[in-house]
Structure 1
Amino acid sequence: MSSLSAKYLLCAPLAAQVAYSLAYQEDYSRAFCCLNILIICGLKGLIHVFWSVYNNMLWVSRTLRINPKGVDFKQIDHEWHWDNYILLQAILATMICYMSPPLMMINSTILLAIPLWNTKGLIALLVLHVTFSEPLYYFLHRYVHRKNYLFTNYHSFHHSSPVPNPMTANNATLLESLLLCVVAGVPLIGSCLLGVGSVSLIYGYAIMFDFLRCLGHCNVEIFSHKLFETLPILRYLIYTPTYHSLHHQDMETNFCLFMPIFDVLGNTLNPNSWELQKKIRLAAGEKKRVPEFVFLAHGVDVMSVMHAPFVFRSFGSIPYTMRFFLLPMWPVTFMVMLGMWVRSKTFLFTFYALRNHLCQTWAVPRLGFHYFLPFAKQGINNHIEAAILRADKLGVKVISLAALNKNEALNGGGTLFVNKHPDLRVRVVHGNTLTAAVILNGVPKDVKEVFLIGATSKLGRAIALYLCRRGVRVLMLTLSVERFEKIQKEAPSEFQKYLVQVTKYNSAQHCKSWAPAGTHFHQFVVPPILKFRRNCTYDELAAMRLPKDVQGLGTCEYTMDRGVVHACHAGGLVHMLEGWEHHEVGAIDVDRIDLVWEAAMRHGLSSVSSLTD
Structure 2
Amino acid sequence: MLFINRNRRLSQEGIDFHQIDKEWHWDNFIILQAFVASMIFLWINPSMTNYPIWNISGIISCILFHIGLSEPLYYCLHRLLHSSYFFQQYHWLHHSSKVNHPYTAGHATFLEHLLLCVIVGVPVIATTLIGHGSMIMFYGYFLVFDFLRCMGHSNVEVVPCRIFDTLPILKYVIYTPTYHFIHHKDMKTNFCLFMPLFDVLGKTLNKISWDLHREMHSNEGKKAKAPEFVFLAHGVDIMSSMHVPFVFRSLSSLPFSTKLILFPMWPFAFLVVLVMWAKSKPFLLTFCHLRGKLLQSWIVPRFGFMYFLPFAKDGINNQIEEAILMADRIGVKVLSLAALNKNEALNGGGKLFVTKHPDLKVRVVHGNTLTAAVILNEISQDVKEVFLTGATSKLGRAIALYLARRQVRVLMLTQSTERFKSIQKEASPENQNLLVQVTKLQAAKHCKTWIIGKWTTPREQRWAPAGTHFHQFVVPPVFEFRTDCTYSKLAAMKLPDDVQGLGTCEYTMERGVVHACHAGGLVHLLEGWTHHEVGSIDVDQIDLVWEAARRHGFKPV
**How high is the TM-score relative to the length of structure 2?**
0.96
Structure 1 residue runs of 4 or more that deviate by more than 6 Å after TM superposition:
none
Partner of 2:532, secondary structure, is coil
Unaligned runs of 5+ in 1: 1-56, 609-613
Which of 83, 92, 97 is 1:161 aligned to? 97
CA offset digits 1:151-175 (Å, max 9, x no partner): 1111100000010010001111111
Distance 1:495 1:266 in 2: 83
2:530 counterpart of 1:581: yes
Amino acid of the structure 2 residue aligned with 1:84: N
* Identity percentage of aligned residues: 66
Q: Give the superposition deviation at 1:511.
A: 2.5
2:58 counterpart of 1:109: no
Partner of 1:137, secondary structure, is helix
Q: Give the superposition deviation at 1:303.
A: 0.5
Partner of 2:279, secondary structure, is coil
Instruction: Verify the 8 A CA contact 2:182 2:190 in the aligned structure 1.
Output: yes
Which residue in 2 is equivalent to 1:138?
A: 75
Partner of 2:545, secondary structure, is helix
Distance 2:301 2:144 in 1: 34
Distance 1:115 1:375 in 2: 61
Distance 1:578 1:467 in 2: 26
Distance 1:561 1:389 in 2: 32
Which of 483, 486, 499 is 1:534 aligned to? 483
Pairs within 5 Å for 1:280-299: 280-299=216-235
Distance 1:288 1:61 in 2: 10
Instruction: Verify the 8 A CA contact 2:447 2:465 in the aligned structure 1.
Output: no
Which of 446, 456, 459 is 1:510 aligned to? 446
Partner of 1:290, secondary structure, is coil
Partner of 1:468, secondary structure, is helix
Pairs within 5 Å for 1:360-439: 360-439=296-375
Q: Give the superposition deviation at 1:486.
A: 1.2
2:262 counterpart of 1:326: yes
Amino acid of the structure 2 residue aligned with 1:77: D
Which residue in 2 is equivalent to 1:127?
A: 64
Which residue in 2 is equivalent to 1:31?
A: none
Amino acid of the structure 1 residue aligned with 2:73: L
Which residue in 1 is equivalent to 2:289?
A: 353
2:21 counterpart of 1:77: yes
Amino acid of the structure 1 residue aligned with 2:46: M
Q: Give the superposition deviation at 1:515.
A: 4.1
2:201 counterpart of 1:201: no
Instruction: Verify the 8 A CA contact 2:446 2:464 in the aligned structure 1.
Output: no
Q: Give the superposition deviation at 1:592.
A: 0.5
Which residue in 2 is equivalent to 1:65?
A: 9
Q: Give the superposition deviation at 1:94.
A: 3.5
Instruction: Verify the 8 A CA contact 1:96 1:104 in the aligned structure 2.
Output: no
Amino acid of the structure 2 residue aligned with 1:126: I
Q: Give the superposition deviation at 1:188.
A: 1.5
CA offset digits 1:217-274 (Å, max 9, x no partner): 0101112222212211010000000000000000000000000000000000000000
Amino acid of the structure 1 residue aligned with 2:524: H
Instruction: Verify the 8 A CA contact 1:432 1:459 in the aligned structure 2.
Output: yes
Pairs within 5 Å for 1:88-107: 88-96=32-40, 100=43, 103-105=45-47
Distance 1:385 1:598 in 2: 31
CA offset digits 1:466-507 (Å, max 9, x no partner): 001111000011111111111111111110100001111111
Distance 2:75 2:420 in 1: 76
Distance 1:197 1:97 in 2: 11
Distance 2:141 2:379 in 1: 63
2:234 counterpart of 1:259: no
Number of equivalences: 544
Distance 1:223 1:606 in 2: 44
Q: Give the superposition deviation at 1:357.
A: 0.9
Q: Give the superposition deviation at 1:141.
A: 0.1
Pairs within 5 Å for 1:7-46: none
Distance 1:519 1:138 in 2: 67
Distance 1:182 1:377 in 2: 61
Amino acid of the structure 1 residue aligned with 2:265: M
Distance 2:351 2:222 in 1: 34
Q: Give the superposition deviation at 1:457.
A: 1.1
Distance 2:152 2:531 in 1: 47
2:543 counterpart of 1:607: no
Partner of 1:450, secondary structure, is strand
**Pair 95,520 (structure 1): closer, same or farther in 2 beyond 3 Å:** farther
Which residue in 2 is equivalent to 1:547?
A: 496
Amino acid of the structure 2 residue aligned with 1:87: I
Q: Give the superposition deviation at 1:88.
A: 1.0
Partner of 2:289, secondary structure, is strand
Q: Give the superposition deviation at 1:522.
A: 0.9
Instruction: Verify the 8 A CA contact 1:521 1:537 in the aligned structure 2.
Output: yes
Q: Give the superposition deviation at 1:379.
A: 1.5
**How high is the TM-score relative to the length of structure 1?**
0.87
Pairs within 5 Å for 1:411-490: 411-490=347-426
Instruction: Verify the 8 A CA contact 2:235 2:300 in the aligned structure 1.
Output: yes
Q: Give the superposition deviation at 1:536.
A: 2.1
Partner of 1:153, secondary structure, is helix
CA offset digits 1:330-375 (Å, max 9, x no partner): 1011111111111232111111100101111111111111212222
Distance 2:39 2:222 in 1: 53
Which residue in 2 is equivalent to 1:26?
A: none
Partner of 1:364, secondary structure, is strand
Which residue in 1 is equivalent to 2:31?
A: 87
Q: Give the superposition deviation at 1:509.
A: 1.6
Distance 1:201 1:532 in 2: 59
Partner of 2:493, secondary structure, is strand
Amino acid of the structure 2 residue aligned with 1:130: I
